[in-house]
């Protein structure tokens, strides 16, 4: 659908693909961001937009000469990876439960990390730059090494999916783990301290920012790029392990040739050119969707997911949604839904079906079909997937 310009009294217009009016708190958050003096052109809201911290999740904010760390968020580089395999649905017959158990044994979830550091991890070139990160993370290199190749918790997941032609896909969702969170928190604290010292009048303390040309900006930008690299490679390490498990079950361990590989962030910032000017683009719960960019838009556990190709829509800063978007908070979901609801809504999916994942029930998310319909001018669908195995973080 085409975007609509929201009736908000702001310095920069707010363009929305949500297809509905924002709630009171969502409108306040959009108004706060769009009123910042360094916001470029307009703010774009994706179809899955919902409340975040400082800035809305599902928002794309382009800025000139400044950046807001809290708008990027604390899971720097969080994103998705997917691989289209040469395998078919028939080859999965009778193997789903064991595949899930093997994934859970090979890839740590939640707060867990790897007991040993594999060579692929220790050889990552990013470690050479660790000593230049924020001083307060210098004791965390060992933990960061052990966490690379781990999933994390919350809405992170690993899935075996089938497309509409019964082709097997591998898909996972994760970010920069503890190290990314700590880096973000340290820089957000610095930004707030600077704002307080300067007596800045901000509509929200979480909109404290760094100005280009200052040491604080340079330090944050450096650490941001490092954490985004960590998150990207974290997904590479996990996908390699995941792929070996599936190869063992479906091809006797013979290495496969991927038919398509996608690895994309949806919580990050980059310097890009839009409307002929160099700007900093913060995508908080949004995927880059330039022409021919491949992206991944997952539904909730038990719903469809989509592999997409961007259309390069300038009004969205060449962006699209990053998922279904939450309809209710985790606490509200736990109160609203029962274990029976979870079992019913995840029928046909080999996954955990216990009270510990009720907050990730499909009913707690927006209908993915509507999210996709609202961004037909942003992306085209390349493949429609449905999970048959789901491992939650």
276-310 pLDDT tens trace: 999 999 999 999 999 989 999 999 887 899 999 99
Asked whether residue 356 is assigned to any structural domain, the reply reads no
Task: List the CATH number of the domain containing 70.
Answer: 3.90.1860.10
Q: Which of 42, 50, 266, 322 is catalytic?
A: 322
Among 176, 274, 280, CA closest to 230: 176
**Angle subtended at Cα 112 by Cα 223 and Cα 391, rounded to the nearest 5 degrees:** 100
Residue 353 counted as domain residue: no
pLDDT(175) > 90: yes
For the entire predicted model, the pTM comes to: 0.96
Q: Which of the four pLDDT bands, split at 50, 70 and 90, describes residue 217?
A: very high
Relative to beta strand 14-16, strand 39-50 is parallel
The domain containing residue 47 runs over which residues?
Answer: 4-327+365-392
Q: Which pLDDT value is given to residue 82?
A: 98
The pLDDT of 259-280, averaged and rounded, is 98
Domain count, the chain: 1
Q: What is the pLDDT of residue 44?
A: 98
Please tell me the predicted confidence (pLDDT) of residue 114.
Answer: 97
For residue 343, being part of any structural domain is answered with no
- 305 within domain boundaries: yes
Question: What pLDDT score does 94 carry?
Answer: 97
Does the residue 333 lie in any domain? no
pLDDT at 370 over 80: yes
Q: Look at residue 242 in the predicted model and tell me its pLDDT.
A: 98
Examine residue 352 and state whether it is found in any structural domain, yes or no. Answer: no
Question: Across residues 358-385, what is the average pLDDT?
Answer: 94
Residue 337 falls within a domain, yes or no?
A: no
Answer yes or no: 322 catalytic: yes
pLDDT beyond 80 at 110 = yes
The per-residue pLDDT for 215 is 98
Query: What is the distance between the alpha carbons of residues 269 and 280, in angstroms, rounded to a whole number?
Result: 7
The answer as to whether 341 is a domain residue is no
């Amino acid at each position: 659908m085409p975007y609509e310009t929201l009736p908000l009294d702001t310095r920069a217009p707010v363009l929305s693909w949500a297809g509905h009016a924002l709630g009171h708190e969502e409108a306040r958050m959009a108004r706060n961001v769009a009123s910042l003096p360094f916001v470029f052109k307009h703010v774009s809201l994706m179809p899955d937009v919902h409340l975040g911290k400082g800035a809305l999740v599902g928002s794309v904010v382009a800025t000139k000469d400044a950046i807001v760390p809290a708008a990027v968020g604390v899971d720097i580089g969080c994103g998705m990876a997917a691989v289209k395999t040469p395998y078919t649905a028939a080859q999965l017959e009778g193997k789903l439960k064991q595949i899930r158990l093997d994934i859970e044994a090979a890839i740590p979830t939640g707060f867990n990390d790897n007991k040993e550091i594999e060579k692929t991890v220790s050889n990552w070139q990013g470690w050479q730059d660790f000593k230049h990160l924020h001083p307060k993370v210098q004791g965390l290199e060992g933990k960061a090494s052990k966490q690379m190749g781990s999933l994390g918790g919350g809405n992170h997941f690993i899935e075996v999916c089938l497309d509409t032609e019964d082709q097997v896909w591998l898909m996972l969702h994760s970010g920069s783990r503890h190290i990314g969170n700590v880096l973000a928190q340290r820089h957000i604290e610095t930004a707030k301290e600077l704002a307080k010292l300067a007596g800045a009048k901000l509509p929200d303390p979480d909109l404290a920012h760094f100005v280009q040309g200052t040491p604080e900006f340079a330090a944050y930008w450096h650490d941001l790029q490092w954490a985004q690299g960590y998150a990207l490679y974290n997904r590479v390490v996990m996908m390699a392990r995941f792929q070996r498990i599936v190869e063992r079950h479906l091809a006797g361990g013979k290495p496969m040739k991927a038919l398509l590989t996608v690895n994309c962030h949806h919580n990050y910032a980059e310097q890009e050119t839009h409307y002929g000017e160099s700007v900093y683009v913060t995508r908080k719960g949004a995927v880059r969707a330039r022409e021919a960019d491949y992206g991944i838009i997952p539904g909730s556990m038990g719903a469809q997911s989509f592999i997409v190709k961007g259309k390069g829509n300038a009004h969205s800063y060449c962006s699209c949604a990053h998922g279904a978007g939450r309809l209710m908070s985790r606490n509200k979901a736990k109160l609203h839904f029962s274990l029976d609801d979870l079992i019913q809504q995840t029928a046909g999916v080999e996954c955990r079906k216990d009270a510990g994942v009720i907050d990730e029930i499909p009913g707690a998310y927006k209908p993915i079909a509507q999210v996709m319909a609202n961004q037909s001018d942003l992306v085209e669908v390349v493949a429609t997937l449905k999970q048959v195995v789901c491992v939650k973080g």
